[in-house]
Structures are given as C-alpha cells and as structure tokens.
Amino acid sequence: MYENLLYISEPYLQYAIRLNLLGESKADLTSLRNLALQDEKIRSYLNDITAFHSKTVSNHKNPELPVHKLLFLLEIGFDTGIPEIESAITQIIARRDENGVYQSLTNIPEHFGGTGKDSFGWCLCDAPLLLTALLKAGMDYGLYIKPGADYLVSLTQPQGFPCSVSREMGKFRGPGRKDDPCPYATLIMLDLLSDIDEYKHSEIAKNAAESILTLWDNSLERHPYMFYMGNDFRKLKAPAMWYDIVSVTGCLAKFDFAKTDKRFHEMAQLIRAKQDENGLFTPESVYTKCKGWDFGQKKTVSPYLSYLCIKMLNRI
C-alpha cells in the first residue's frame, strides 16, 4: 500500500510518508526535504505564514487562514529550521494573554455581541490550534504551552467544551444553546490533549471523546451550534481542518480508549469501505480554495487524502 502511495505522491508527501508512516529519520531525508521545499504550493504556504496575523479570523472554516497552513506544514514534518515557520511561531508567542492563551486578530460585529473593530483575542475554536502548532513546533511545554492548555482545560463542562471566548470578544457566542457543547471546539481541544502526556489519558479527554461519539450516536437529532454529522460530514475531504469524518476519526484514533468504541469503528468502517483496490481514496468534497492541490478535486485519487485515511486506519 505504501508503495502505491509513494509512487503517486509529490515530494512533500513522500517526505511525510517516509517520516510519519515509515519511521525514517529526518537526517536520512534531507535531500527529499530540500526537494519538497522547492514545491511551488509549499513555497506559497510558507510565504503566507510569514505575516501570521495579517488575516482577520472571521470564519474558522477557511483553509486560507495562516494557522491552518502552518499546521499543514508542521504535520508534514517541516519545523522551525525553516525561517518562515520560525517567524510564524515567533509571532504567535508574541500575543499571549494573562492566562497563557494565545490570541488571533478577530473582528466580531456589534450585532453578534462584539466591538465591530479589529482586535486581538481568542475563541475556543482557534486558541487550541495555536497551542497545537507550538507543540508540533517543539516549543518548551512548561514555558509556552502548559499555562494556556491548563486554562482552556478548566473551561470543560460535563458534555464537552463550550463555546467560549476571551473578554475582548464581548458577549459573542455561536448559534446554539448555551449549555450545548461546541463540537468543533471539543474536537480541536481533544486533538490538543492527544499531544499532551498529562492529559491524553485523563477523564477530561475521555469526556470530550464521549461528547463527539454521543453526537454520532444521535446524529439525526442533535446538531449543537449547527454542526451536523449528516451526509456532508461523512464525505471524504482534506485537509483535516474542520468538523468532518476524516478529521474526527483522525483525532479519535490517537486515543486507546476511543479505538475500542463501536461508534468509532462505525465511522472508521465508513472510510474503509471507500478504499479502492489499490488501498487509496478519492475526495468526495473539496475546499474550493485548495484548487491546485491533489485534494482540491473529486475526479481521481488524492494521495494526500489517502495518506490521512491510511494513517488513521493504521492506528487501529
């Protein structure tokens, strides 16, 4: 299967496969890494994260946001040895509030409870992404990550993580009942906890996973904050940056307690059933802003989507 995937992959994905799936060392992949960094699409992403706070965060389902591009690059296996990534990390840590939570440039309209002005603050649907980026970049956990992670964890509720914002956001809250969990905030908090040893096996992580699995069990009836687990949710899509079956299973597969749950296996089986005779996958939905990437079309196999799905299936 890996041979099929490597054969059709561009250098950046060959690098990710050999590093993250085949366990080869970065030292042995230097030439391939350098070749991958010459890719025009990778160069474009690197260029876009150099002015990290240049885009106002108004729609988290936007693959053009620098945080999504940075996470994409880090998850491939690139690191702060690349100047553009080092610059992005430096800009993130320069914007931290008194609780250790990192901020994004946002603008919440007055009619949604905000100020209507560009200002730095955070939502629970973006702050965990910044902490995850710092973790993947290898930043010191105690100094740069633990204070903010501890504070965000303190926001947990019995049913998962709520729609929460910093004081700069005013009275903003998403379109849902106050007592409901925010599925996306819960997902990205769970993904953050998967990389933190002191939280990965905690009751808080188990509770967040249970929240998502319960929503799967009740997908026809419960749609908190207008997050559905219907037909669109079940379509294969990349990159894994939103609330969909590839992102959710990819996160849950990192937890031993989730991998034994029949609800998780129902989701994983839906993905496995879409694997072709070569063990590869074709997108069923796309982000139009990702046109030009192999996952930005629905006509043929996507090596990168296949990589995400195979990585998840390998964990179980």
pLDDT in tens, 255-297: 999 999 999 999 999 999 999 999 999 999 999 999 999 999 9
Banded pLDDT at 7 (limits 50, 70, 90): confident
259: exposed, middle or buried (C-beta count within 10 Å: 0-12, 13-18, 19+)?
middle
Q: Is the pLDDT of residue 224 over 80?
A: yes
What is the C-alpha separation between 48 and 290, in angstroms, rounded? 14
Distance of CA 113 to the CA centre of its chain: 27
Report the percent of the chain where pLDDT is more than 90.
Answer: 81
Domain that holds residue 30: 1-38
Closest CA to 66 of 40, 84, 93, 39: 84
Structure tokens at 296: 């930005």
**19 inside domain:** yes
What is the C-alpha separation between 149 and 236, in angstroms, rounded? 30
pLDDT the model gives residue 225: 77
> Which regions of 139-242 does DSSP assign to beta strands (E)?
none
Q: How many domains does the chain have?
A: 1
**205 inside domain:** no
**211 inside domain:** no
pTM of the model as a whole? 0.95
**256 inside domain:** no
pLDDT, one tens digit per residue, over 33-80 is 999 999 999 999 999 999 999 888 878 899 999 999 999 999 999 999
Helices marked H in 255-302: 256-259, 262-272
Asked if residue 298 lies in contact with residue 230, where contact means CB atoms within 8 angstroms, the answer is: no
**18 inside domain:** yes
Closest CA to 64 of 40, 85, 42, 48: 48
Banded pLDDT at 1 (limits 50, 70, 90): low
> Which regions of the chain does DSSP assign to beta strands (E)?
104-106, 119-121
Asked if residue 17 lies in contact with residue 5, where contact means CB atoms within 8 angstroms, the answer is: yes
N- to C-terminal Cα distance for the chain? 16
pLDDT, one tens digit per residue, over 85-131 is 999 999 999 999 999 999 999 877 666 666 777 889 999 999 999 99
